[in-house]
Chains A and B, each alone.
Chain A
Amino acid sequence: MDVPRIVLGVIGADCHSVGNKILDAYFTEAGFHVVNLGVMASQDEFLDAAVESNAGAILVSSLYGHGLIDCEGLRQKAIERGLDKILLYVGGNLVVGKTPFAEIEKKFKDMGFDRVFSPHDDLTEAVKLLRQDLEDRKR
């Protein structure tokens, strides 16, 4: 069976690299083939990497509070590039201030993201969800 491929990176002008390395190690350990773009990755870089590697999911991190503007349009662009089935996950400190998480989650889901994670979510849970979602997409 093929190892599931995922694209990972920190979007926009965000240089937070520590969490990115932890996610890379964690998902690799969990059996995923991780294409890690590192920090300051643009939407196009996420999409190019996903197209070339035939990834099943794109995992976007954003820690600096500008997540909304950086992530806007990613779903539409993915569709334009022929990635119509790709899973989009996003997580981190997605917006500045004390917005309730449910509101943040709704905003990102409206933008076409399949799952939205807060800094308090457990990675074991994220891995479980990703496996399940990738399975579901195959059907």
Chain B
Amino acid sequence: MVMAPKLLLSVDIGSTYTKGGLFALEGEELRLVGREVVPTTVDHLGRGFTQVREAVLSRHANGGHNTNSPFSGTKVTCPALSIPVYWSSSARGGLKIAAVGLTPDLTLSVARMAATSAGGKVVRAYSYELAPEDLEDLRAVEPDIILFTGGTDGGNSRVVLHNAARLAELVSPAIILYAGNRKVRDQVVDILRGREVATAANVMPEVGTIDIEPARDIIRHVFLDSIVDGKGLSSVVAEAGREPLPTPLAVFELVRTIAERVPGWGDFAVIDMGGATTDFYSHTKSFHGGDAIILRGLLEPTLKRTVEGDLGLRVSAEALFRSEASFLEGRLREAGTDLALLKGYVEEVSRRTEYLPGDDRGRRFDRLLAAACVRAAALRHAGIFQRVFTPQGGFLVQRGKDLRQVSRLVGSGGYLAGETSPDILLEACAPGADDPDTRHLVPEAPACYADVEYLIPLLGNLAADFPGAAARAAVAGLKPLGPHTN
């Protein structure tokens, strides 16, 4: 007699679609046995969740074939309710985080890193002393969390205490997470008494030392508490019997797990491009050293996420059009198309965010916008080399993260998941520098893949409990693109 495999359901509530996948755990491996997608029910997220869950399970019970990985006849012998449910939610495009730091290049920069790698979206960033108008501004953007940093441990306390006093005046339901100079932590908590305050270890305990994990962990908990309250998610918690992960965090952890568990995947990147943002995840050593290479600035972490709020195909199309105007104009000139036509298209799709082009012109424009998103996201994520001439000879100064050893590039999210050629992803490898003494440290010639079944967030939900299986299933589910890929 063959034992029925254990089934696991994973659901991701995105801002546009709610996706569900049913997986069979067979020995040490996970296999997709069914998937469903329904539009996200914005007014009550729990409804979409239930729809997806029921659709996946009933189709499965009927021996349905609604999947590219055909279901091979496993019997459902257990009642649907006993199937464990793992889930994630993008929570309106991410937790809104306002970052407060001391100097822009040190604590503020590390605070941004902590916020984005916890799955948040940095809506504001402030350095030095907060001014009264900053408080007005902070109130207006309604952040979920204020990540309050500044000073090394035992370092600056004057500005930190000043900012604590300012934040104490702020009228906002935002949770204040203090992750600055440890020496004044108790004083800061005291000043902010009566407010909702959490504390974590200093994100930069020493100049140049990054310690963002403790702050990340607190942000994740805040996310759970704050998003679960609204929009019907508490009913999902009750139904699933488990709290959600923020979608970007699920992806972040899956990237880590793949790099650690799948041979040959130690250096890779994922680009998740959507209507509103483009997220770039990389796992590769940040700095490789060498005789004539000097690192300046912060040593960035091996696993890094950046999220670009102005790079997207729909909601952010107008912002993209503005920030990448010269690139878009150049490409259009080569193609002999007028910029005004693209401008009209951008205006239209940013109003009708659900729009999918039905004609060649629209598809060409979407392709161009996608190319601009991928290219800009890569350039912003990657560091640079600058050639400097010194009395001791020529040197290369590295700033930021070196992605040249990234050997695999994965496209995820609606548009990139559907790609059949590596062209758009390879835009990430464009040199992009006008200055001959500057070189962008983007991937050089990566193999490209498409996350055709949107498995990355779904398997990200399973990565904590089934790390090896989730990592292998995610890689197995990718479609190789183009001639470079093996």
Contacts and interface: CB of A to CB of B under 8 A. Distances in A.
Interface residues on A, range: 20 to 34
B102 A52 contact: yes
- Secondary structure at chain B's binding surface: helix, strand, loop or mixed? loop
B157 A54 contact: yes
A5 B294 contact: no
Interface residues of B, number: 28
Contacts of B102: 51-52
A41 to B, nearest CB: 8
Interface in A33-49: 33, 35, 37-42, 44-45, 48-49
B156 A53 contact: yes
A61 to B, nearest CB: 14
A53 B152 contact: yes
Contacts of B151: 52-54
A59 B297 CA distance: 19
Interface in B208-263: 208
Contacts, number: 80
A82 B157 CA distance: 13
A33 B154 contact: yes
Contacts of A41: 296
Interface string B350-391: 000000000000000000000000000000000000001111
A77 to B, nearest CB: 13
Chain A facing B: main interface SS: loop
B391 A52 contact: no
Contact of A15 (B107, B152, B206, B294): B294
B154 A52 contact: no
B207 A13 contact: no
A5 B155 contact: yes
A86 to B, nearest CB: 12
A50 B206 CA distance: 11
Contact of B390 (A35, A52, A53, A64): A64
A35 B207 CA distance: 7
Nearest to B152: A53
A54 B391 contact: no
B4 to A, nearest CB: 58
A13 B390 CA distance: 6
Given A35-B207, A64-B390, A64-B391, A49 B106 contact: yes
B294 A35 contact: no
Given A5-B155, A44-B105, A45-B296, A52 B204 contact: yes
B323 interface: no
Given A52-B207, A53-B156, A15 B390 contact: yes
Contact of A52 (B103, B294, B297): B103
Interface in A1-55: 2-3, 5, 7, 13-16, 33, 35, 37-42, 44-45, 48-49, 51-55
Contact of B155 (A16, A38, A53): A53
A64 B389 CA distance: 13
A37 B295 CA distance: 10
23 contacts: A5-B155, A13-B391, A15-B294, A15-B390, A15-B392, A15-B395, A16-B392, A33-B154, A35-B152, A35-B206, A40-B395, A45-B297, A48-B103, A52-B107, A52-B155, A52-B156, A53-B154, A53-B156, A54-B152, A54-B155, A54-B156, A54-B158, A82-B159
Interface of B: 102-103, 105-107, 150-152, 154-159, 204, 206-208, 294, 296-297, 388-392, 395, 397
Given A38-B294, A49-B208, 9 more contacts: A33-B154, A52-B103, A52-B204, A53-B207, A54-B152, A54-B157, A64-B390, A64-B391, A82-B159
